[in-house]
């Protein structure tokens, strides 16, 4: 595997794509977005923390899709909230897809 010798080239304009169900959603993440996700990883599930997380999901989608109506984005986020959380958790490097799958399986086993 070759190493990327210029990891910062054109990142300010880079748009990432997330697979949310059957949709491919463009996002433009920022450091502050990842910082808020750190609080989620520490178990902060207060209404205020969840509101901030919802806000950064919506704002990161809006930054990459400025011509899309905010109300449409909010509805998409609301109806796919868990998928956004999963995809952003992987994007920000807090867990791998395998780790997420394993955690979901353990949670499912506990509820059965």
Q: pLDDT at position 41, please?
A: 64
- Specify if 7 maps to a domain: no
- Specify if 3 maps to a domain: no
Query: Across residues 50-67, what is the average pLDDT?
Result: 91
- Specify if 1 maps to a domain: no
Say how many domains are in the chain: 1
Query: Across residues 36-45, what is the average pLDDT?
Result: 70
65-81 per-position pLDDT tens digit: 999 999 999 999 999 99
Domain region containing 86 = 14-111
Q: Are 84 and 20 in contact (CB under 8 A)?
A: yes
Residue 39 backbone dihedrals phi, psi, to 5 degrees:
-65, -35
Q: pLDDT at position 51, please?
A: 84
- Specify if 5 maps to a domain: no
- Token reading at 88: 């952003």
Q: pLDDT at position 104, please?
A: 83
pLDDT exceeds cutoff 90 at 5? no
Q: Calculate ∠ Cα 107-109-112, nearest 5°.
A: 110
Q: pLDDT at position 59, please?
A: 94
- Specify if 51 maps to a domain: yes
- Averaged confidence pLDDT in the chain: 86
- Specify if 6 maps to a domain: no
- Specify if 76 maps to a domain: yes
- Specify if 69 maps to a domain: yes
């Amino acid at each position: 595997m070759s190493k990327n010798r210029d990891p910062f080239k054109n990142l300010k304009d880079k748009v990432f794509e997330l697979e949310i169900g059957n949709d491919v959603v463009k996002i433009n993440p920022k450091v502050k977005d990842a910082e808020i996700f750190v609080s989620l990883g520490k178990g902060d599930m207060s209404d205020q923390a969840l509101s901030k997380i919802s806000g950064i999901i919506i704002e990161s989608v809006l930054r990459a899709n400025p011509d899309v109506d905010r109300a449409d984005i909010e509805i998409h986020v609301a109806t796919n909230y868990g998928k956004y959380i999963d995809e952003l958790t992987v994007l920000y490097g807090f867990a791998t897809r395998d780790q997420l799958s394993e955690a979901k399986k353990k949670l499912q086993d506990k509820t059965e």
